[in-house]
Amino acid sequence: MTISEFLKAFWPLLVLYSILLVWALQDAVKRKETSYLPKWVWVLIILFVGTFGPLAYLAFGRRENGY
C-alpha cells in the first residue's frame, strides 16, 4: 500500500481527528478553569496523547461553568 492509497482510504479519519484536536485545544484555551488538572497539563495531554488526549479532555477536563 502506497502513501497515496493510505491517504485515500483514511482521509475521513484524519479530518475527524483534526477537528477533534482543534476543538479540544480551543475549548481548553478559552476556559478559565478545568477539572482535575491545570489547563497547561490538559493542553499537553491533548497534543501528545493521540486520539485519547482530546477525548479524555472533553470527557473529564471540562467544567460546567468554566467560561
Q: What is the pTM of this model?
A: 0.80
Quote the number of domains for the chain. Answer: 1
* Segment 15-46, tens digit of pLDDT: 999 999 999 999 999 998 888 899 999 999 99
Residue 67 domain flag: no
- 19 occurs within a structural domain: yes
> Is 23 part of any domain?
yes
Q: How confident is the model at residue 54 (pLDDT cuts 50, 70, 90)?
A: very high
Integer Cα distance of 63 and 67 in angstroms: 8
Q: Does residue 47 lie in a domain region? A: yes
DSSP string, 2-67: -HHHHHHHHHHHHHHHHHHHHHHHHHHHH-S--SSS-HHHHHHHHHHSTTHHHHHIIIII--TT--
Q: Which domain holds residue 31?
A: 3-61
- Tell whether 66 is covered by a domain: no
In a domain, 37, yes or no: yes
